Amino acid sequence: MTTSQRVRISLAAVLTAASLSLPVSTASAYEALGPAVVLKSYTAKVKCSKIRLSDNNAVGFVFGTGRGRTKPAAVAAAKKNANDSVGRGYRAKHCRTISVH
């Protein structure tokens, strides 16, 4: 059975249930499609300078990792992870992307 046939069968089941006013669960719609569809996900790693806010000096580096559906979303999540992990009185700045895959 091809994907287009599975989609037609699934749509027919959903439309039939809708016309009969029956509740349609998303699980039953996915079961009609067959194997699960995998969405692409990206993982990013960044390296940022750890900045002390009191005197605005760099005092080391901090690393962050993040995941997202797009590369920019993964990098943004990694930067947020790095900034969240530095602690009070510090900030992650000048982040450099190490890898995105």
How far is 33 from 26, CA to CA, in rounded Å? 11
| Sequence-separated (6 or more) residues with CB below 8 Å from residue 27 | none
pLDDT of residue 21: 54
pTM score, whole prediction: 0.63
Residue 58 zone, left/alpha/beta (φ > 0; ψ -120 to 50; rest): beta
Q: Is residue 11's pLDDT more than 50?
A: no
Residue 89 predicted with pLDDT over 80: yes
pLDDT of 39 reads 84
- pLDDT tens digits, one per residue of 38-81: 789 999 999 999 999 999 999 999 999 999 999 999 999 999 99
In the chain, what is the greatest distance between 2 CA atoms, to the nearest angstrom?
69
Locate tokens 């996915």: which residue?
30
Residue 17 pLDDT exceeds 50: no
Q: Please answer whether residues 30 and 18 qualify as being in contact, where contact means their C-beta atoms are separated by less than 8 angstroms.
A: no
CA–CA gap between residue 66 and residue 69 (Å, rounded): 11
pLDDT score, position 56: 95
